[in-house]
């Protein structure tokens, strides 16, 4: 087929390369001139493991243009532009509307427009009424939400758990499903609004699991239980599953925060108060604040204290710093008067990482530079470099009281304490604090 893709971000570029690799002639529209220039030189403009090599192997079947209006005639046009949060949690559909408007004005009759961007339930039908029907050229609309994960996007594209296609006309849905047939994934064909809802319900349930295990971890700290063992025991039940039971400082990134807020907003807009989801969002917000509160206690205040934040991307394997817990914690600490130095192995040189930190927090080029003279270290992203760091050397480079907050429970707490650190984590207590919590608990009546 001749396929067009609008938006060459994490989703759009992976989809475009994947479709070119499957033998389709693929044209990509990217509005950002810097990204477009990189792509025309054959470079992936962001960090995604394996994508550059994959692009190199299929570059001959791909073309890059500056707007959706400049795409050549296509059988299917995928829309993969950004859908960020508006100020009240609603989805900002500006990029989506612009892209659909451009496609509707220029696509040849019969083109199928497939929405890969995450848009709130009901959006597709509204886009059809507002842009596709008035164009009068028999343009069909299909909802085709994407489930890939940054950092694992290439593998996720090639091995999807499922392909979801929501269409009003079976022919249009079939044409989009055809693009994925060779991947052998289970296919769910449904109506447009249900397909949109599958994406939100999935992300909301994953976020719920994260906030749930974080609340269990917080209670573990109070009763002297160990979250690693608790999560392992819970995950042994196949009805519950072992995924997404990793306690920590909460979810971030370009999807979960905005998608949970958007679903909460959509429910409210339709007259329903989604209490459970509201709590999930609030628990996630507070989980980050707990780090700041702990450090405030441990350091006897934050003003003038020196703190290193390790990890600015929202998870390992990506340079994406959107709604990253590490960035937010760095900003909160700096706002409370701490001198913050932040380091990330991949986001370390990006312009974006410099800007998102804000005043009072400085990015460093190495881990050693970030921790030198620091009184506390926060591990905000579980990069392998942090797991494998020479923590004895880090302790020597730091100043008293040598506090470490392991926000991802990725270090050996006992080993950290034996190196002289005061070790905090989420739902885990080691050494003296564990004994103290158990003793305190034993002294209380059993309700």
State the residues that interact with ligand NAD by CB under 6 A. 6-12, 29-32, 35, 67-68, 80-83, 95, 98-99, 116-118, 146, 148-150, 254-255
> What CA–CA distance (Å, rounded) separates 198 from 89?
19
Q: Quick one: 7 or 407, whose CB is closer to ligand NAD?
A: 7
Burial class of residue 72, CB neighbours in 10 A (0-12, 13-18, 19+): exposed
Residue 255 is among the residues annotated as catalytic for this protein: yes
Residue 402 zone, left/alpha/beta (φ > 0; ψ -120 to 50; rest): left
Question: Of 7 and 250, which has the nearer Cβ to ligand NAD?
Answer: 7
- CB neighbour list of residue 323: distance below 8 Å, 6 or more residues apart: 252, 253, 254, 257, 258, 314
| Residue with Cβ nearer ligand NAD (9 or 311) | 9
Minimum distance from residue 30 beta carbon to ligand NAD (Å): 5
Closest to ligand NAD by CB, 149 vs 387, is: 149
SS3 29: strand
**Read out DSSP for 307-353?**
EEEE--SSSTT----TT-HHHHHHHHHHHTT-EEEEE-TTGGG-HHH
Shortest separation between residue 10's beta carbon and ligand NAD, angstroms: 4
Compute the least distance from the CB of residue 31 to ligand NAD, in Å: 4
User: Nearest-CA neighbor of 317 among 385, 418, 271?
Assistant: 385
Cβ proximity to ligand NAD, 118 vs 350, nearer residue:
118
Rounded to 5, what percent of the chain is helix, strand, coil?
50, 15, 40
How many CA atoms, within 13 angstroms, populate the side-chain half-sphere of residue 431?
Answer: 15
Q: Nearest to ligand NAD by Cβ — which residue?
A: 9
Residue in 107, 71, 75, 105 with CA at minimum distance from that of residue 179: 75
- The least distance separating ligand NAD from the CB of residue 153, rounded to whole angstroms, comes to 7
Tell me the C-alpha to C-alpha distance, in Å, between residue 162 and each of 199, 346, 381. Answer: 11, 30, 28
Task: Find, among 15, 9, 68, the residue nearest to 179 by Cα.
Answer: 15
Between CA 363 and CA 342 the distance in angstroms is 5
Residue (125 or 368) nearer to ligand NAD, CB = 125
> Torsions phi, psi of 50, nearest 5?
85, -15
Give me the least distance between CB of 102 and ligand NAD, in Å please. Answer: 6
- DSSP code at position 73: P
Of the pair 30, 323, the CB lying nearest ligand NAD is at 30
Q: Which of 74, 255, 410, 446 is catalytic?
A: 255
Q: At what angle do helices 192-223 and 256-269 cross, to 10 degrees?
A: 110
CB of 69 to ligand NAD, least distance (A): 9
The tokens for 270 are 């339709």
**Minimum CB–partner distance for residue 8 and ligand NAD (Å):** 5
Name the packing angle between helices 275-299 and 192-223 (round to 10°): 40
Minimal distance, residue 115 CB to ligand NAD, in Å: 9
Closer residue to ligand NAD, CB minimum distance, 10 or 265:
10
Omega before 39 within 30 of 0, i.e. cis: no
Active-site residues, by number, are 255
């Amino acid at each position: 087929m001749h396929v067009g893709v609008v938006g060459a971000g994490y989703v759009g570029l992976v989809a475009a390369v994947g479709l070119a690799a499957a033998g389709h002639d693929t044209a990509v529209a990217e509005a950002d001139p810097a990204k477009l220039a990189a792509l025309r030189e054959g470079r992936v403009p962001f960090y995604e493991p394996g994508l550059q090599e994959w692009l190199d192997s299929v570059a001959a079947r791909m073309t890059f243009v500056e707007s959706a209006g400049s795409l050549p005639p296509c059988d299917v046009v995928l829309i993969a532009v950004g859908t960020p949060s508006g100020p009240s949690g609603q989805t900002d559909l500006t990029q989506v509307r612009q892209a659909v408007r451009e496609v509707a004005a220029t696509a040849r009759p019969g083109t199928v427009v497939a929405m890969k961007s995450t848009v709130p339930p009901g959006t597709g039908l509204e886009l059809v009424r507002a842009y596709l029907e008035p164009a009068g050229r028999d343009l069909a609309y299909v909802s085709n939400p994407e489930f890939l994960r940054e950092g694992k996007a290439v593998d996720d594209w090639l091995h999807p758990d499922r392909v979801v296609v929501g269409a009003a006309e079976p022919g249009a849905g079939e044409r989009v499903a055809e693009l994925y047939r060779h991947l052998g994934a289970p296919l769910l064909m449904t109506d447009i609004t249900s397909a949109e809802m599958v994406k939100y319900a999935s992300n909301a349930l994953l976020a719920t699991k994260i906030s749930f295990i974080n609340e269990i971890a917080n209670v573990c700290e109070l009763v002297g239980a160990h979250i690693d063992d608790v999560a392992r025991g819970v995950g042994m039940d196949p009805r519950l599953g072992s995924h997404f039971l990793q306690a920590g400082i909460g979810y971030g990134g370009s999807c979960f925060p905005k998608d949970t807020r958007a679903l909460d907003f959509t429910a409210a807009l339709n007259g329903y108060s989604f209490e459970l989801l509201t709590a999930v969002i609030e628990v996630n917000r507070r989980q980050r604040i707990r780090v700041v509160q702990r450090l405030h206690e441990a350091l006897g205040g934050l003003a003038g204290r020196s703190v290193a934040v390790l990890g600015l991307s929202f998870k390992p394997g990506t340079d994406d710093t959107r709604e990253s817990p590490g960035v937010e914690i760095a900003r909160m600490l700096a706002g409370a008067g701490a001198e913050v130095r932040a380091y990330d192995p991949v986001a370390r040189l990006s312009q974006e990482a410099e800007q998102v930190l804000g005043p009072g927090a400085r990015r460093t080029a190495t881990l050693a530079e970030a921790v030198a003279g620091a009184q506390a270290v926060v591990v905000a992203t579980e990069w392998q470099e942090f797991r494998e760091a020479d923590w004895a050397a880090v302790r020597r480079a730091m100043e008293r009281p040598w506090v470490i907050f392991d926000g991802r429970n990725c270090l050996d707490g006992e080993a950290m304490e034996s190196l002289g650190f005061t070790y905090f984590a989420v739902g885990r207590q080691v050494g003296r604090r564990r004994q103290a919590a158990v003793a305190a608990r034993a002294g209380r009546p059993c309700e």
